[in-house]
Each structure stands twice: as C-alpha cells, then as structure tokens.
Structure 1
Amino acid sequence: MTAPTALPARVRTRFAPSPTGALHLGNARTAILNWLFARRHGGDFVLRLEDTDTERAVPRGEEMIYEALDWLGIAPDEGPREGGPFAPYRQLARADRHRARAAALLESGRAFRCYCRPDELEARREAAIAAGEPTGRDARCRDLPAELARRHEAEGREAAIRLRVDPGPVEFTDLLKGTLSIDGDDLGDLVLVRSDGRPTYNFAVAVDDIEMEISHVIRGVGHLSNTPKQVLLYRAFGVRPPEFVHIPTVLAPGGGKLSKRRGAAGVLDYRERGFHPDAVVNYLSLLSWSSEDGEEFLSREALVERIDLDRLGAADTEVDEEKMTWLSGQHLRAEPAGRLARDWAGRLDVEGLGLNDADLRRAAEVFAKRTRLLSDVASEVEPIYRAPETGGAAARESLSAPAAATAIRLARAAWADTAWRPEPLAAALRGAMRDAGLAGRTFFPPVRVALTGQLHGPDLGEVAYALGQERTLARLAAAMPSAPSETGD
C-alpha cells in the first residue's frame, strides 16, 4: 500500500454504472465506498450513467439503479435526476463534448486520423502474431501524407481518431497495488473515436472524469487494465490524474464472480426479502475495509466517520448472507420504534388484525429483538394479535386445567391497575403467581393461551404490553367462562 496522499481542495467521487440491469452487491459495494468517502470529507458523490451500450440496455434500467441507491440511502449529490454543474450526466448525451475533446487532440498533434479498416487491422494483427512480433502498435497512419489522406477520404473511408502513444513506461499509482507500469508499445496508439463517430469507453470515461473534476476513482479491480490508457489521456490533456483505488472483487457464495448475466441476486431482491438497508450498507463496507477497533456492527454515521481508504484490504471476498442477516437483526434492534413500526405496517395485515399506530409502535419496542429481517414480522408478530381461538386444540385444552380459571382471574386482577410497561407487567404477574402458591408451569400456560391462543411465545409482560391494556383485559375476561372454577375437597 502506498503512502497516503494529500486530499484535493474538494473531494469528488463518482459511481458510473451501465443501465443494463439491476445493481448486484458488487456494484452496490462500489457505490457505497464512493458515497462514504465523499461524505467523510464533505465532498460530492456523483452518479454518471454510462449508457452507450444500447444493445444491452434494459427497460427501467436507470430507474432500477436509482431505486436501489434510494433504498440503500446513498442518493447522489449530482446525477441525471439531480442535475448539477457538470450536466449532462448520461454518457450518450455527452457525445458532442467527447468529439470536441478529440478534435482538440488532433489540432495539438497528440492524436491522428487512422483510415485503416477493422478488417485490415485484424489481418495485420494476425500476421504479427504469426511472425512472433508485437501486436500493440499499428502506426501505418501515424504520419500519413496529406495527399494519401485525401485519397482515402475520396474513396469514402471513414477515419478513426487515435492517440499517439510513445514507447516507454506508462506508470500510475493505485492505492492498494502501489506503482504499476506498462510499456507504451504494449498499449499501442489508442483509438479515441471509432470510424463511425462513437467514442471508445476509455476516452469517454477519461473526458467525463476530467470535466466533472473527479478527484478519486474508486472502482472494481476489473478496471485496472483500463487505468494506464486513461492516465495517458489525462497527460495528453495536461491534467493531473485522480487518485485511483481498485477494490477487490465481491464473489458469489461459494466462489465465482457476481454477474447480472449469471443471475446474481440484485440489491432490490434483498429489500424484498426484508433485509435492513443499513445492514446491507454496513456489510458491504466491511467487505473492503475494517474499523480500527474491529467493530462489525456500525451505524451509517460511524461508517462515514471511520472510512479510511488506507485500511482497504486487497483480497477478494465471498458474500456471506448469514452474516448480513445477523447484521440486519442488529440494525433492526437499533431502529427507532416509530420508524420500525412504519416499516412493519407494510408487511402486516394491519386492517385484518385491527392494529393502529400505537399497537405497532408497542410491538416494535418489544419484539424487534425476535426478528432479523423485516419480513420476520409476519411470523413473529401476527400470531400475537390474531384472535386467541385461532390457536390449536392442544393450546385450548390448557384452559380446562384445574388452575386455569384461577390463573386467568389473578392475572386480570394483577394487571388491572399496573403501569402498562413490560417490566411492571411481568413483575405483577410473577407476584400473583407467588401469592397463589402456584408453579409457573401451572400458572403461565392458561394466561398465554387466553391472550394469544399459543402455548409458547415471548415474555408475557411483553405480550400484554404489545396487545395494550384494553385488548389484554378483554381477552382474559373472554377466556374466564371457558375455564371451570376450582373446587376444594
């Protein structure tokens, strides 16, 4: 790892996906690190859509990208939706700028027109391979006489525009890999604009990063081979390159590259499964770096405060959904009850269960610890609010036990004037049990069945608190006639 460099006056990072499908976890990890680093240094996080691959573009591709970023809570400061001082933020819409930049390089002599047809270039490449010669450079048009150029144009040949690349080392620095170098002869004279007028990927990216004043390019290691080509373009324009950080690859569970074309789960699939968005941000951050104290459960604010590119790891990492699920549970427990209640409302049959906002808030206060995913609420919370008679026959049989009527009557009396909080309710119930001289296995089951129709479940103080005083006392009263009174000998 190289020594840290001084930050520029304004940190500007960018996330530049193609709208060719839903974001998978690898894309999202890149976006998160760019967002965190920009937030850490009071900078700007830019979304730029590299939409030139029109053949692979999918309907709603842009909308799905925004939907994923919004759910993760990392909306950009500038982008196609937000606008900004360096608009437009769609690469196709910047074609005129790319052509103007190419024309400037032609005028300065740093670029030249190449009239060779693709089939001619390929034939010469194959001949060089057969002869054991370098294939990177085909300089036939580098210093083409003007007369020959006019002849090609008269023949209707369209010219590509190439950058003059001199022999010798092309060096650049990556934060994780240090100083790297490749010989200019291995790169050859780079094509900037194809003969059909379309800019190449590396040229468009370099021009856009220059014009948008991007200070840090944080992207996947798969782009490492593009970097020397882009560095050459920065130098051709007389601009200092940004800091490059090529982060390791996120692998699918069991190994193998995540890929939209291989059906890797998209970020929005995790939303549908009920993962907490802060947990996904937390987890994906930890795939690349670790906090100094080794803490793994980190709030969004802590991640922003602690992000440090010098602590990035270089090893590829497999997705561990079990760990992400654990983190989701931790973030659910930390969620303010009111906000969690609103999240739960969309996953419960609120109308059918007769729940109001106060019910949901109380449930969130005491039952969040029983869930790891937002989708767990249906199995963990709904049974408590369903009518007790929906329970099984075995549970209802407990109401015919000799002490059932006494237990239910004492519970109702104990809770009639108790402060309606989980702890006092639990303490009052235990006191009633002791005063009656009953064992817990005799006392608690009929009370639980009277409230929920279940033989097992959360602490009864929490159950009563979540149900609310009116519902709790009504359910106990309704259960009492079905429980025979105790008789003594």
Structure 2
Amino acid sequence: MTAPIRTRFAPSPTGALHLGNARTAILNWLFARRHGGAFVLRLEDTDTERGVPGGEAMIYEALDWLGLGPDEGPREGGPFGPYRQSERGALHRERARELLESGCAFRCYCAPDELEARREAAIAVGEPTGRDARCRDLPADKARRYEAAGRTPAIRLRVASGPVEFDDFLKGTLAIDGDDLGDMVLVRSDGRPTYNFAVAVDDIAMEISHVIRGVGHLSNTPKQVLLYRAFGVEPPEFVHIPTVLAPGGGKLSKRRGAAGVLDYRERGFHPDAILNYLSLLSWSSEDGEEFLSREALVERIDLDRLGAADSEVDEEKMAWLSGRHLRAEPPERLARRWAGQLDAEGLGLTDADLRRAAEVFAKRTRLVTDAPSEVEPIFRAPPLGGAAARQVLWAPEAGAALRLARAAWEETAWRPEALARTLRGAMREAGLPGRAFFPPVRVALTGQPHGPDLGEVAYALGRERTLERLDAAATGAAGEFDTSHGGHNNGSNDGSNDKETSV
C-alpha cells in the first residue's frame, strides 16, 4: 500500500512571509491537495535570537490570505504535534539517546575553543575540518574525568569516510565525501539540538513523504539523509526548487522585490494571482496556459514538470494575472473586496450598486486598489454647473438628446447591452450624429467628457439614479443652471470619442 502524501512548510517565525517562502508553501500545498494528502505547518522556532514578536501570527495571516490553510499546525493541532519545534525537545533528546545506545553517535567533551584551534590547524595543512576523532572512542574513565571536571558533552554522529550518496528529484543522484561532512554535532553541549538533527527527527516523526524546499537547503540534505539511515528509516523524496531572484537578477532584498506577501495584499493584488504567479516560477502546465484558477493548479500540478532554472520576480505579470483573477470573480464577491476600498457610505452606495459596478467595471482594473479611481467618479454627483458641462449641455441638440435618452431608458430592461442598444436607437430617432447625441448624455451621467461605455455607466448607476441625472441635466440644457456654485472644469468636449457605433 502506498504511504499517504504528507508535505510540510517549515518556516522560522522571523518576520513577514516573503515571495520565496510563499512559493515553497504554495508548491507543498498544491502537491498535497493534488494527491489528497496533508499539508503540515511546522514552525522552526528554536532560534530565539532571530525570532520576532508576532512572527507566527504574520505567517498565519499570509497563509490565510493566500488560501493555504494547513491541515495540521500550531493553530490546527493534529496527530503529530506539537507543531512548534521548541516544544519538541523531549523527542529530540530521546532520539539522540537512541543513537548513542546504538553506537551511531558518541559524546564529545571537546571545548569550543579546542575545536576551533584544531580546525584552524587542519586548514593550515589542507586536511578536512569536520573530522575530529578525539572523542570517538573515548575510554569510559576519561569521560568520567571530563564530567567530574564540569565538562558537558555535545553529541555527534559517527560519519564514515567515503561517498554519501543521496537523490534529489530535480538534480538526480548527488554525493559528498563523509570526511567533508565530518562527525556532525546533533545536540550542542547546552542541550539544544542542531538544525539538521531537529529537522530530520521531526520529519521522521511527522511521516513527511516529500520535502519540497528551496535549493539553498541542498547542502543540508546529505546530513539529514545520514540521520535517516542511522534511524533505519527510508528518506522522503527530496525536491529542491530553484531560487526566486529579484527583478533583473540577484538576491531578493528589501529594495529589490523582497516585499512581504501581505505588502502585495495592501497594494491590491488578488491572492489567487499571487498563488498563480508563484507556482509558475517553478512549474508550467502541459498546455502552456498561464492564467489558472487554484482548482486548475491543484488538478494539473506535476513534479515532473518542475524546472531547475532560477526565476526573476516580474510584478507586471503579477498585475496582469491579478486583473484576470479579478475579472473571473463573481460580482458579489468582487463587490465585497471593493467595499473596503471605496467611500461607499459617503457616496450612498448600496450592496446592489457595488455588485453592478463590479459586474461592468472589473475589466478596467488589475488591482483591488484600482476600484476608487474607476468607480467613485461615476457615482459622484456630476458637476453640471461648470464651464465644460455648460458648453456641452447648452448645445442646440442637447435638450432633445437628453429627453430622448430618458424616454428610451425609462422602460428598458436594465442590462448594459440593452441600455447601449436602446440608446443607439434613440440617437437614430433623433436624427443626430453620435458626436452631437452622446456627449450630453455622458456629461449628464458623469460630468466627464470621456469614460466607459454609456450602457455600462447607466447600468452601474441604476435606473433611479440615471433617470434623476438625466432630468437634472435636461433642466440645465434649458439654461436654468445655478452657476453660483461653480463646478468642475474638464475642458472642452468635441464629442470625438462619442461615435455612433460606440456608446
């Protein structure tokens, strides 16, 4: 029977989740979902000096925004907990004791300064620095003398000379000589486990089947493989994915593309676009399609299609994907995203207003934060008393155009296509060219000389608001404006953008 798929994301709570870490989490989540497995969050929080207050909460906030809820983790619990490495000390100590009893590990009483001096001496004569066999077969009486003198031992793994071979899914079989690794420390003299020991012990205990992580961890893999073998356990599948680079190449930094995931949320990117984009930095679908829903990503993810080349962050492509995902949202859901960006109360916008606006104006946006510039000018009361508006509304044909538009729309089915079609019919009935007919209608509805399709504008505004604005403008077309309040001057309008075929 095939073992269940279990992947893990194991960040340190040292700050906001950046794009590189998020890409690792995404691939682990997708692969687990594809195979009906478990996606585990384990916090490697033993490095207390680098930890930041609220680091765990920031990781969860980013994962939640991306929709990558773990199946097991510090918040969720699960059968393989605890899920904070700092809370797993008892297991680490027990497994170290097992290696001592089996002879795979030994106690080393060498002081740090002694080890450093011998390391420098080995470098001076060109010998491997990791191998120090002084305590490998230390007589029991000498060990007792060290302990009586107050020396607390570290615990080291016995590493044999010769090649240590291991497999990576992308790079194939690799090897390093055991002498280059040396007898690596498993538990420091102060009782703290080393990174590689804790990771291997925890991955074994949590029955992790696939370790999908950045290629920067490749050097850790032979050390962890040795521990799997010492425990008599088959290693997981190791998949070391390429590096995410800053725009133009080079390491991600605060100034070069290393913004935290939540910074992209604040800038208005759609979370599915970040998920979509980051997955494509390592993987491509068989048909080459780049715009993929999360359901499609889960269905199509295939480790065999992972690439080995590093990739640069391209925010322009991220923004393009964000626009595609915004347009794919049901209007009701997009309206809820927009609600937090708009002055809905100040403009008197209802949920129905927002839904209609989302339905027709989503195509004009790429980021959620684009909504105010596209939506608010439409719903803001049009400044009909300004010079630019008066120039349009006092034209000889303006009054007739406004009355015919109102009459045509009063009984029209309130859909963008029907409104545009009916308005063109009213234009033909008036016997006016588009450059004379459409500008008064546009100024009446928005106060602006240019803008979106008039059928879409009217649809977003709603029947009552649209007819009220046409009535107010028709009054102005008769020369009855109260100009004492001034108005918005948007320049002259020659109607060049309002052609008969484009409402």
Calculate the TM-score normalised by the size of structure 2: 0.93
Distance, in Å, in 2 between the alignment partners of 1:106 and 1:88 is: 24
User: C-alpha deviations, 1:434-461, integer Å up to 9, x for none?
Assistant: 1111111111111011111111111000
Match of 1:457 in 2: 451
Distance, in Å, in 1 between the alignment partners of 2:472 and 2:311 is: 57
Match of 1:71 in 2: 65
1:412 to 403, 406, 413: 406
Match of 1:350 in 2: 344
Distance, in Å, in 2 between the alignment partners of 1:83 and 1:260 is: 33
User: C-alpha deviations, 1:318-356, integer Å up to 9, x for none?
Assistant: 000000100000001100111001111111001001011
Instruction: Please state if 1:98 is matched with 2:101.
Output: no
Aligned-pair CA distance for 1:479: 1.1
The range that moved more, 435-444 or 226-235, is: 435-444
Aligned-pair CA distance for 1:261: 9.9
Distance, in Å, in 2 between the alignment partners of 1:391 and 1:331 is: 40
In the superposition, relative to structure 1, how do residues 390 and 125 fare at CA in structure 2: closer, same or farther (>3 Å)? Answer: farther
Instruction: Please state if 1:167 is matched with 2:157.
Output: no
Match of 1:341 in 2: 335
Match of 1:271 in 2: 265
Partners of 1:398 and 1:446 within 8 A in 2: yes
Match of 2:4 in 1: 10
Instruction: State the AA in 2 paired with 1:168.
Output: G
Match of 2:140 in 1: 146
Distance, in Å, in 2 between the alignment partners of 1:393 and 1:291 is: 56
Q: Percent identity?
A: 84
Match of 2:314 in 1: 320
Distance, in Å, in 2 between the alignment partners of 1:333 and 1:455 is: 26
Aligned-pair CA distance for 1:196: 0.5
Distance, in Å, in 2 between the alignment partners of 1:223 and 1:397 is: 69
Match of 2:324 in 1: 330
Distance, in Å, in 2 between the alignment partners of 1:150 and 1:101 is: 23
Note the 1:154-303 alignment, pairs <5 A.
Answer: 154-259=148-253, 264-303=258-297
Q: RMSD of the alignment, in Å?
A: 1.4
Instruction: State the AA in 1 paired with 2:471.
Output: A
Distance, in Å, in 2 between the alignment partners of 1:263 and 1:428 is: 49
Instruction: Please state if 1:116 is matched with 2:106.
Output: no
2:127 to 123, 126, 133: 133
Partners of 1:391 and 1:452 within 8 A in 2: no
Provide structure 2 residue ranges, at least 5 long, that are not aligned to the other structure: 480-503
Instruction: State the AA in 1 paired with 2:71.
Output: D
Aligned-pair CA distance for 1:298: 0.4
Distance, in Å, in 1 between the alignment partners of 2:175 and 2:216 is: 16
Aligned-pair CA distance for 1:81: 0.3
Note the 1:29-108 alignment, pairs <5 A.
Answer: 29-108=23-102
The range that moved more, 398-407 or 84-93, is: 398-407
Match of 2:483 in 1: none
Distance, in Å, in 2 between the alignment partners of 1:403 and 1:196 is: 90
Instruction: Please state if 1:398 is matched with 2:392.
Output: yes
Distance, in Å, in 2 between the alignment partners of 1:260 and 1:197 is: 35
Match of 1:369 in 2: 363
Aligned-pair CA distance for 1:59: 1.4
Aligned-pair CA distance for 1:396: 4.3
Instruction: Please state if 1:430 is matched with 2:427.
Output: no
Match of 2:491 in 1: none
1:309 to 303, 306, 314: 303
Aligned-pair CA distance for 1:77: 0.3
Match of 1:20 in 2: 14
In the superposition, relative to structure 1, how do residues 391 and 44 fare at CA in structure 2: closer, same or farther (>3 Å)? Answer: farther
Instruction: State the AA in 2 paired with 1:194.
Output: R
Distance, in Å, in 2 between the alignment partners of 1:70 and 1:139 is: 49
Partners of 1:163 and 1:192 within 8 A in 2: yes
Match of 1:383 in 2: 377
Instruction: State the AA in 2 paired with 1:371.
Output: T
The SS at the match of 1:85 is: coil
Distance, in Å, in 1 between the alignment partners of 2:261 and 2:419 is: 42
Aligned-pair CA distance for 1:369: 0.4
The SS at the match of 2:133 is: coil
The SS at the match of 2:118 is: helix
The SS at the match of 1:381 is: helix
Aligned-pair CA distance for 1:262: 7.7
Instruction: State the AA in 2 paired with 1:51.
Output: D
Distance, in Å, in 2 between the alignment partners of 1:263 and 1:21 is: 16
Partners of 2:187 and 2:194 within 8 A in 1: yes
Partners of 1:168 and 1:185 within 8 A in 2: yes
In the superposition, relative to structure 1, how do residues 203 and 261 fare at CA in structure 2: closer, same or farther (>3 Å)? Answer: farther
The range that moved more, 32-41 or 99-108, is: 99-108
The SS at the match of 2:120 is: helix
Distance, in Å, in 1 between the alignment partners of 2:249 and 2:69 is: 30
Aligned-pair CA distance for 1:395: 3.7
Aligned-pair CA distance for 1:8: 3.9
Provide structure 1 residue ranges, at least 5 long, that are not aligned to the other structure: 1-6
Distance, in Å, in 2 between the alignment partners of 1:264 and 1:122 is: 36
The SS at the match of 1:217 is: strand
Instruction: State the AA in 2 paired with 1:48.
Output: R
Partners of 2:257 and 2:313 within 8 A in 1: no
